[in-house]
Amino acid sequence: MRLERYAIEPIERGAVVDGNVERHEAVADALLRALRKAGTSTRQVAMALPSSSVITKRITLPADLTEDDYEVQVESEASQYIPFAIDEVNLDFQVLGPSATDETSVDVLLAASRKEKVDDRVMVAELAGLKPLIIDVEPYAARISIDNIISQLPAGGEGQILAVFDIGQTATRLAVVYNGQTVFEREQPFGGNQLTQEIVRLYGLTAEEAELKKRSGDLPENYTKELLHPFVEAGATELARSLQFFFSSTPYQRVDRILLAGGAAVTPGLAEAVLQKTSVPTEILSPFQGMEIGDAVSEKQMNLDAPALLVSCGLAMRRFDQ
């Protein structure tokens, strides 16, 4: 695979709140700017919803059903788990494979979201002149990227317990993967926005200015000691606490490798602090690992941006599997 180009554009403050689109035109404008920056003529688009907007459930169904039969059965099963009328949701399913407990059955993953959540994404795409083909779920799209990276480990990561922390603006998601299966998931309220807000408070900047200066490092001398070091220490403590929760609530008692993703993963000193707290080899994850990089891409900038592009890259890779 080859990364030809990518683009990131800021969205107006308040245009998206907790994953919900509040101002469609503002988001569409940012999307148009990103498209122009990327220089792409592609108009078909894959998008994703945050997990908070989607209800997922793993169910078991007979293995000998036709596609139409599965649709009827899934809709019938979904009504038991979804607290809305079926005609108010968009519903989809994926047959995962044979059931581990019954050879005559298959495991099926169903996913449902309120139609208004899906329609918000569709409206933004259409305002930007795009044709939405796919609405995925963010953790599943990220998992495509993660699986691609794991496949490049010695023996394809077989036998290794890998902890992937996706550190976003307001929340951190932990997924523990073992032999291709997610064996533990947890979300906690820690993210890069906490450092941004401290910069706003201490230096009297706007949130937009604080975010830019945080990324560029253009801040006063006391920033490292007064804000960065306490944030890094707090972050490493939160991640270590999540691992302890994993150990105490599952049969597993070790993690072989920690992978950091999300925009805050590149915070200076964070990976080193996590290694020190956990004594587990820790590295910053790039979804573009192992890919060719196009001439239009600045590798230096890409290395800073890549950990935040786990979901985007996963969406782009959806049609590259067999």
3-state secondary structure of 187: strand
Closest CA to 41 of 130, 135, 132, 134: 130
**Given a cut of 50, is residue 183 above it in pLDDT?**
yes
Contact 56, 111 (CB under 8 A): yes
Give the least confident one: 166-175, 214-223, 227-236, 262-271. 214-223
Tokens of 246: 């994993």
Closest CA to 264 of 206, 310, 321: 310
- Average pLDDT, integer, range 103-117: 92
**Given a cut of 70, is residue 321 above it in pLDDT?**
no
Split at pLDDT 50, 70, 90, the class of 27 is very high
- Average pLDDT, integer, range 18-26: 91
Kindly report, residue by residue over 124-175, the tens digit of the pLDDT: 999 999 999 999 999 899 999 999 999 999 898 999 999 999 998 888 999 9
d(CA 153, CA 321): 18
**Given a cut of 80, is residue 28 above it in pLDDT?**
yes
Can you say how many angstroms the Cα of residue 214 is from the centroid of all Cα atoms in its chain? Answer: 22
Q: Which residues of 178-203 are buried (b: 16+ CB within 10 A; e: fewer)?
A: beeeeebeebbebbbbbbbebbbeee
pLDDT at 322: 47
In the beta sheet, which residues pair with residue 215? none
Residues in the chain: 322
Give the least confident one: 4-13, 20-29, 127-136. 4-13
Q: Give me the amino acid identity at 68.
A: D
β-strands 55-62, 44-49 pairing: unpaired
Split at pLDDT 50, 70, 90, the class of 320 is low
Ramachandran area for residue 156 (φ above 0: left; ψ -120 to 50: alpha; else beta): left
Average pLDDT, the chain: 91
**44 burial type by CB count under 10 A (0-12 exposed, 13-18 middle, 19+ buried):** exposed
Closest CA to 50 of 113, 101, 133, 5: 113
Whole-model pTM?
0.88
- Average pLDDT, integer, range 296-304: 91
- Average pLDDT, integer, range 31-52: 92
Tokens of 194: 């906490």
Q: Of 25 and 216, which is predicted with more confidence?
A: 25
* DSSP structure string for 51-117: GGG-EEEEEEEETT--HHHHHHHHHHHHHHH-SS-GGGEEEEEEEEEE-SS-TTEEEEEEEEEEHHH
Question: Which domains can be identified in the chain, with CATH numbers?
Answer: 153-288 (3.30.420.40)
Q: Give me the amino acid identity at 122.
A: V
Contact 265, 274 (CB under 8 A): no
Contact 287, 148 (CB under 8 A): yes
